[in-house]
């Protein structure tokens, strides 16, 4: 069965500092990987996705993520965090063996707090 682990429940960074959110996955083949962001009381917004090809993926709002097959990881990064980035971040995995790339398994999330 597929699974996603986000080891950090809560992270605090200062505005302007760099950010890395960790994600490890378990999947029996090449996965489809996603990062979503959720503001309080809101639905999820897609930040970026990896299906194949270049392992460094660029997303919206200045985020990027790197797929590392050898480490089963898909960490999210941003060089300079803004106060508006404070939210909950979810990593998710899907893929052809689930019947659809859109039947996703989510991690438990990392809550990002940004201090001014």
- Contact residues toward another protein (CB under 8 A) are 4, 32, 34, 36, 41-46, 49, 51, 90, 92, 99-109
Nearest-approach distance from CB 13 to another protein, in angstroms: 21
* Closest CB to another protein among residues 37, 81: 37
Most distant CA pair in the chain, distance: 44
* Closest CB to another protein among residues 28, 41: 41
Nearest-approach distance from CB 48 to another protein, in angstroms: 10
**2-16 burial by CB neighbour count: b if 16+ within 10 A, else e?**
bebebeeeebebeee
Nearest-approach distance from CB 89 to another protein, in angstroms: 10
Which residues sit opposite 35 in a β-bridge?
A: 48, 91
Question: Could you give the count of Cα atoms lying within 13 Å of 98 in the half-sphere of its Cβ?
Answer: 18
* Closest CB to another protein among residues 15, 49: 49
SS3 60: helix
């Amino acid at each position: 069965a597929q699974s996603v682990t986000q080891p950090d429940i809560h992270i605090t960074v200062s505005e302007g500092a760099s950010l890395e959110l960790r994600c490890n996955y378990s999947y029996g083949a090449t996965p489809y990987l996603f990062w979503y962001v959720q503001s309080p009381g809101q639905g999820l917004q897609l930040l970026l996705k990896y299906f194949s090809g270049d392992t460094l993926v660029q997303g919206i709002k200045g985020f990027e993520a790197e797929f590392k097959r050898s480490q089963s990881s898909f960490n999210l990064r941003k060089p300079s965090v803004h106060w508006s980035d404070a939210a909950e971040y979810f990593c998710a995995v899907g893929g052809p063996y689930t019947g659809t790339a859109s039947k996703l398994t989510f991690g438990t999330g990392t809550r990002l707090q940004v201090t001014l």
